[in-house]
Every structure is written in C-alpha cells, then in structure tokens.
Structure 1
C-alpha cells in the first residue's frame, strides 16, 4: 500500500449557486497544482484575493514531480512551506554518472557553505500540493479554494474574463479581472482559446516506477548509460521519503505503453536493478514527451504559467521548477496591477522574461534528450566515444548530458550592466547568506521578502524613498551583521543593490540617489 494517504479536500457549493453573495474577483486561478496554489499564496501575502478553481478534490496521484531545486525551495520558503518541505524531503547535492557498471564521474551541485536551502530535495508532488493547500488555508479571506469546479468555457475581453464552471450542483459563470491558467500540460483553457504549442515531440518512451522497499541506497542522483541491468538504454534512480524509490527506464519508441505498465513486465525490470529484495509497486506510468511552449504567455486578460505555457522532458528537473519561477515573476506584478501600483504593460515583461526562461529550459532539455536517445549511427558512435573518454579525461565529462539540472534563469539580457565592478550584475537572482539581526540569526533572502529593497553592503546610509525599504549590511555594524563574511564576499563592499519583490537584482549603485532609485522602480512597474 502507498505510504501517502490520499484524502479528499471536499466540495462546497459556491455562493453563485447557494444564494450567497459572490465576491468581486480580481484574480481567478485555474488549477490547484503546485503552480496555481503557489500563486494564490504569493498573492495573499501581498494582500490580493484570488479564487482557485480545480476539477478534482485530491492531490496528484503518484509522485510525479519530485526534484525541487535550491531556487525553488527559496521561493517556497518565502511562501511559508520551504522548511516543511526540506524537513520531509530527501536532501542531496551529488550526482553520479555511470556507463554500464562503471562510475564515470560525480558532480557536486552546491560545494560551498552559507546557504539556507540545499541544492536539491526529492519530495513527491502529492506532499508539495498538500503543504500548499494547508498554507493556502491560512488565508481564508484571501484564498477561495473551490474543488470540483470544472472549467467548461471561457470568454476573454479587454476588461476581464468570464469563466463557465460545472459543479455537482450545476453550472455557473464567474467573472474576474484576470485569469491565470495553471491547468497543466493538457490545459483546457489553452484549448478553449484555440492556442497551440510549438516545439518538438520526441519519439521515445520511458517507464516511471515508484517502488516502496527497505534499502540503503544513497540519496545521490544516479544515472546509467547502457547499464547491464537494462541493456542498450538508460536508467535513473532517485530516493524519496517513506522508503519510496523513483526508477526511470528508457524503453524505446516501439514499446507498447499499456503492455509495459503491466506488473509482469514491470517487476522483472525492477528486480534486475534492486535484486531479490522485497518491494511493492506504488505507482507506474509510461510516458513520452515534447519540448514545446506557447508563442506568448499573455493573451489579453488570460495569463499562462507552468505546464500550460511550456513543457519539457523530465530530465533536469526543469518542469515544476520552471513553473514556480513563473509564479515568482508573475505574482508581484499581478499584485501591483490589481492594487493600482503598476500598469498592465508590465505583463509584457513577464511574458518576455518567462518565454526566455522557457526557451532556456527547452534548449537544455532537448539537448539532454538528444544525447540520451541518439538516433543515427554517427550520433551513437560519438556518444560511445565520449562515454569511453569520460572516466579518464575531464574535458569529455562536460560533453555528457544526463540532464542539465535546474538553475535560476538569468535575466541579465533585460538589463544594462552599467557597473562592471559588481560581483552580481542586474538580472541575477539574489544569492543567500547567513546574517545576524538584532542579535538573532537570519538569512539575507528572509529579509528580501516583500517589495523593493535597497541593500547597502559594507555599511553606509541610503536615501529615504517612499515604498522602498533600505537596509545596510556590515561586518560589525549595520542593520544586518555579516560576521562570517559570506554576504560581503558575494556582493562586494561599498555597493548598494536594489532588489525586486521576486529577489532579482534590478540595479547596482556605488552611491544610490533617490532620483535614480525611483527611476528604476518606476521602470520596473511600467510607470
């Protein structure tokens, strides 16, 4: 039996059908997966109400997305679930690559100290969704969770969107100023608006099996090319909480998905990997995939985020992590527009940034898949040569691609690098560091949790600007004390950094002035 106990969230008759008074909805979010729930919480933390609509009333069946990267964990920490996820998850930072039975090399994704969040954790998606639902319920006046509310129609206009919903009690219409489609790779909203993905379908099939077993396998990510237990193909093994292990096996395009899911096919494959030790199958799926995206993520008053906007292969953990970065880029902008602090034009910047992020993920994902599944004899020969050289020649290891693992998308292309001496240029996401505040331990990212923030490193006062927080960081004095030197080493001294609400750097100054800081903030808000 699965360790996770699936419990239904339950259905409540919406006020539109019960005679109650419907709310004035500024934001409707379609989809109560990790992306939609994270966005609702982000908006709630900024004082903006939303209604979350989902056609189901239970978390995702099966572990699905399991690898959550450091930047994603930092975002989840800002939303109030990061520590709970790390406590439950399996922490890892080392990846090992094998050719047949031989380990070619290992890599460390976070070799330095001074970070609150680990490089990666493995945690099943059903736990993540449960934690996000629990957190969303901390905001009963700001997050209206509606399960068993299935979207069956949508009308998009210049002033808002109207959604038609089907429930156990009948149908009703819901109007909202903005609709955010977080309804997954098969997005009904995308289909209803007649929008299509553009990209590449990969003619390859993979088996995912989650098994429960007692084993002392390490938490390291382990990837095999042409393993002896699965001749000619590739395999991936990840450890998860509750003695659950994720196994990915390449099957080939000719494999029959329904046949491959049958226990009589799955069990021998698993035994070839884990031996004769007892195990139980928790979840099995056979999948193929594409690397595709919408041409645009913003369509009038309907905005797309997560898998509804872009899809990639699972190798590299870029799907769920990329979707959470969408939320990070959208939440503060949507809140600012709803509250009248910014113009709608800033959604074009969301579109540009996240299309760029999706293209980066698609490029890396496609390259991974092409290396894993060579089609021509020449590609196979080249891969074999690289694998043969990698054990002894470090240069060849850089050519091996078993999944370029998710890292924060850099936005440097959207900014002018006007201060070449800055260790971290505009467009980069903030790098965390341990600090002290009023005699208590804290973290830099924990202090960048709301609004625009100007931080002066190496001490020094900054200008007083309405709507912009200012803090100073010094080795022995300032608002934040850097006794261990991580922050001053990473950001330099005598420099001031202006951070966006999503913790991205939007400007670096030697001597910030009120006029210049205000100009940067106004530009970010489209004013």
Structure 2
C-alpha cells in the first residue's frame, strides 16, 4: 500500500502535469495517476495560454509552450459584418501576452519535461474510486489497489465526482443549454494569422456567435454557438466552414460539440487533499479562464505543499490554498457568468439590453469575454497591506496592473534572464538603494528558516529600469512569494519589519 510518493497527483492533464513538475522542482517525490489508458493525441481543446501561465510552465521546465505557441496580438469584435472594437495587449517582458497552442501539444511538452524528472512516476489505467485520510496521510483507492501518501492533489477534471463525493464536497452551479461546435481546420487565410475574431450574430450564424482563433502551423480553431438540439452533420460542418473561409481549400483536423458549465466546489482543501483545475471549478471558456486558472491552482498548491512537507510551514499555510484559489474561482465565475448573460441571454430584459448594446454600438458594454488575468491576492491573509500602495482595481482591457501588495510581480528582462526567474526558489526580498542588503541578509538569515534570498534592486538591474517599472522608493523592501506575487511593500524598511511580513506570508498573521 505504501509508495515512495510524498504527494499523489490524481489526473495527468495539464494541471496535474504542472503540479507534478513544480512539486518535483521543490524536491518532492510525486506519483501521478490517471484513469485513461494513455495520452490522447488529437484535438485543440484549451488553446489560449496567458503570459503568467507561460511563466509558470517555463519554471516547470516547459518553456517550449511559449516558444512554439502562436502569439496573436489583436482581438477584433464584430456585430454582423461591422467591426465594433479591437484591442491589443500591452507588451511586458520577454514572454508574449498570450499564445495559442493546442492542449494536445502542450501536454506532449509537459510529458517531455516529466520524462526527464526522476522524482515523478506516472501510472495510467488507475481510476480513483475513493479517498480516505487520517492524521498521518491519505489513502487513494483504485478499485482493490490502495496507495498511500502524506498528501493528495486532485486534478482529475470535471468528472471527478468520486473524489469530490469521498471528501463530502459539493459541486454546485449550472449547465447552459446552448451547444458549441468546435472545428480545427488547416487553411491559408491571409491577414488572419495573428488576430482573434469574435462575431456577434453574423449572417452565417444568425442570433448566435462565432469565435475564430489562429493557431500554429496555419491552423485555425472555430467555435460556433448552436441550438441545444442541433446535431451537426458532415454537410452542415462543410457549409459552416465555407461560409467563413469561402472557396479556399481546407483540411478538417478535429471536431467536437460541448456545453458550457458554471460550477464551483464547496471546498478546495479538505484535510490532506487539495482540489485543483476543473475538479474544483468550471467556467465558460470565453476569456480563456479555465486552464489559465487551473495552472495557477497547481502552482499555489505546489509551493505550499512543499513548504508543509519540508517543515517550513504548517496547517495554516495549506488552508490559505483554499482561501486564495476559491476566491480566484469565484471571481472567474462572476466574470464568465456576466459574459454568458450577454452571449446567451435568457430573459427578455437581457435580450433587449444585448440588442441595444450591439445595434447602438455601445462599445464599452460589449462583452465577448474579458481575457484571463492572474487573480491578485489583495485580500489574502498572507498579504501585508500598505495604505500608501493601495490596489487600484482591474486595469483596462489588455493593460498592465500597477504593482501593489497582492498583485503579481511584473516580469521584465534583467541581466542574466527574467526577473521572475529569481522568485521560484523561495521568498525574495528586493531592497531599495537606501537599504543595506548585507545587513538584511545577516539578520534575516538568523531568524528565518525558509528559503529566502535578499537582493538589492540595483544589484538585480543596475540600469534603474527595474526600480522605475516597480515605482520603488529608495528605502523600500519588497517581499515576493515563491509564486511571484507581492506579499508586502514595506516603506522605511528594517529587517524586523521584513521578518513580520515573512511570518504573515507563511501563517496569515505576523504574530503567530
């Protein structure tokens, strides 16, 4: 029954793969279980990956996702044949704002990284039928097979009802009636290679939507909203594709239909078991908030489990996984629910509002899905607030957020690499020019036992660009978490104030 694993990861999809790689990066032995006989090889599935997720994958050893993905730059939105609006991402750092790449290829890249990691074992044909746990560990039931480890991270997807049921976790929400037809095609569409196009009520899909994404290798992903009872035939699909691309030649690579769900688990942590990704939350895909939320779940869980297993933190830190990521899931549900009310209105009032917005060209009220952003832990118990640097709210579409406690650290090129590459091995203290980094390192090293590095801003980047991008003052100390979020910005900083901030970032308060 016993295994060598310190964490059993249930589910070998991208969220489970990411979690395993990040845990192994912390030196944790991982066993990954999946009920399937092996890896699927076709289908785009989740295609749009946001910059901060690309950063996580780079830290996990899967930087090829960003390298191979197609970095589209402009999002265009149409009402029938009239363009309503377009927007582009602000460029920051060496990674693109997002890339499109098929989930199938992403999984292959992650598999390559896992194969090179001796601390990870993957077992297929292991369907989890139940979970039990006690004070010393968890037991994963795979039929008659029992596997024991100190912790379990469940990344088993939307159909992981046996796992949720064993934990007493509900999965409340709703399923939308309308279906969506997805096709991956290969075609030559000049001018469309770097643009995402969203059509409200086009003449070739009246009353509903169509979304077109460019992908690597001259391929495109097309999503049609279709009626709940519509069964597409090969002839229908060919006709729909022709209505968009005309008489150009094309190759149909993959097709499927699906319905959207909006659901959230009542708990994302139950004792020694954490839930992540679609196992814990489901959202409509407009805005690409599914996998782009599941991967940060994996990162948040990985560093906290590693700290618990290494004796650097206790139960309080693990509970903040639920606090932080459940709040992130709730925010995504709120945003995508508003989008779905606009895309698929259910009441007379919602239909009238949508019609007025689209026909009147009220651009600021058009909702085709706010693109995925990292959740910022402004209200987390691990964040030390600073009144002089309040969170200023969500920036305009495509824009960058002003740094503040709880917000993710901006990324940028620094001598030797990227700024966030300095953050992944523990806590990082960045000091302004008036702070003595040697003194801070000596004092902090005597009282802090968790991995922690102290660097002066000028030491990291002597050009002054880093301090300017952060808006950092000479006497400030910036405490950065292992997941690159800003835990504290301390004005007039002394070592003892940094100790308090680290204590809070490990336990949720500075005096425990």
> Normalising by the residue count of structure 2, what TM-score does the alignment of the two structures yield?
0.90
Greater CA drift, 480-489 or 37-46: 480-489
Does the residue aligned with 1:242 lie in a helix, a strand or coil? helix
The one of 409, 412, 419 aligned to 1:430: 409
The match for 2:479 is 498
The one of 358, 381, 385 aligned to 2:352: 381
Does the residue aligned with 2:130 lie in a helix, a strand or coil? strand
Which residues in structure 2 correspond to 1:106-255 (within 5 Å)?
106-110=86-90, 112=91, 114-140=92-118, 142-165=119-142, 171-187=144-160, 188-216=162-190, 217-253=192-228, 255=229
Aligned-residue offset at 1:458: 4.1
Aligned partners of 2:72 and 2:214 also within 8 Å: no
Which residues in structure 2 correspond to 1:271-350 (within 5 Å)?
271-350=242-321
Aligned-residue offset at 1:265: 2.3
Aligned partners of 1:459 and 1:472 also within 8 Å: no
Aligned partners of 1:435 and 1:483 also within 8 Å: no
Aligned-residue offset at 1:289: 1.6
The match for 1:404 is 370
> Is residue 449 from structure 1 mapped to residue 424 from structure 2 by the alignment?
yes
How far apart in 2 are the matches of 1:320 and 1:116? 22
Aligned partners of 1:90 and 1:239 also within 8 Å: yes
Aligned-residue offset at 1:368: 0.7
How far apart in 2 are the matches of 1:482 and 1:276? 57
Aligned partners of 1:59 and 1:130 also within 8 Å: no
The match for 1:472 is 456
Distance 1:288-1:179 versus aligned 2 partners, 3 A rule: same
Aligned-residue offset at 1:209: 1.1
Greater CA drift, 184-193 or 352-361: 184-193
Aligned-residue offset at 1:416: 4.6
> Is residue 485 from structure 1 mapped to residue 459 from structure 2 by the alignment?
no
Q: How many aligned residue pairs are there?
A: 482
Does the residue aligned with 2:71 lie in a helix, a strand or coil? strand
The match for 1:19 is none
The match for 2:495 is 514
How far apart in 2 are the matches of 1:480 and 1:180? 35
Note the residue ranges of structure 1 that are not aligned, 5 or more in a row: 1-15, 17-21, 391-395
How far apart in 2 are the matches of 1:472 and 1:484? 11
How far apart in 2 are the matches of 1:68 and 1:487? 28
How far apart in 1 are the matches of 2:116 and 2:497? 38
Distance 1:229-1:457 versus aligned 2 partners, 3 A rule: farther
> Normalising by the residue count of structure 1, what TM-score does the alignment of the two structures yield?
0.87
Aligned-residue offset at 1:152: 2.8
Aligned-residue offset at 1:157: 2.8
Does the residue aligned with 2:6 lie in a helix, a strand or coil? strand
| Post-superposition CA distance 1:17-70 (Å, at most 9, x none) | xxxxx6432210000111011011111111111101112211364111000011
Aligned-residue offset at 1:172: 2.3
How far apart in 1 are the matches of 2:42 and 2:165? 24
> Is residue 48 from structure 1 mapped to residue 28 from structure 2 by the alignment?
yes
